[in-house]
Amino acid sequence: MQNGLTTKSAEQVARFADMFSAMGTEPRLRIMQLLLSAHPKGMVVGEIQEELDIPNSTLSHHLDKLRQEGLVQVRRECTFLRYTADTEALQQLLQFLYAECCTRNKALEPEQVTCCR
């Protein structure tokens, strides 16, 4: 154990920290929002670039970082790359936070977290 955390828990916290870090820039957060709005179809790189007006080389860097952290999935369609948000990974990330803030110590009421606009 490390500071009361099991090795599995520590690895999980590190994984989620890396995921948050990957989304911790404005362009990447905007990419995630855009891909979620296009779910489940996703978007090809040109569509993302047109929508967000991010230079191609910079966009490729951001998408690669999000892919490395398991936040987006990519598949090739002929000469295009189609990106989709990995909603399963995002669900795990939210459940991790939810377990602490709403079930363990009741810092927030579950309805406050699960209410959608």
Structural domain total, the chain: 1
- Does residue 111 lie in a domain region? no
- Does residue 1 lie in a domain region? no
- 88-100 pLDDT per residue, tens: 999 999 888 777 6
Domain that holds residue 26: 7-85
CA–CA distance, 15 with 78 (Å, rounded to integer): 32
- Does residue 48 lie in a domain region? yes
- Does residue 16 lie in a domain region? yes
- Does residue 99 lie in a domain region? no
Average pLDDT on 6-18 reads: 85
Query: CATH number of the domain that 48 lies in?
Result: 1.10.10.10
**Is the Cβ–Cβ distance between 80 and 48 less than 8 Å?**
no
Higher pLDDT, 28 or 7: 28
CA gyration radius, the chain: 16
- Does residue 19 lie in a domain region? yes
Nearest CA among 16, 12, 34, 37 for reference residue 90: 16
- 59-88 pLDDT per residue, tens: 999 999 999 999 999 999 999 999 999 999
CA–CA distance, 22 with 8 (Å, rounded to integer): 21
Q: Please, which residues have CB within 8 angstroms of residue 110's CB and are 6 or more apart in sequence?
A: 98, 102, 103
Neighbours of 23 (CB within 10 A): 19
- Does residue 62 lie in a domain region? yes
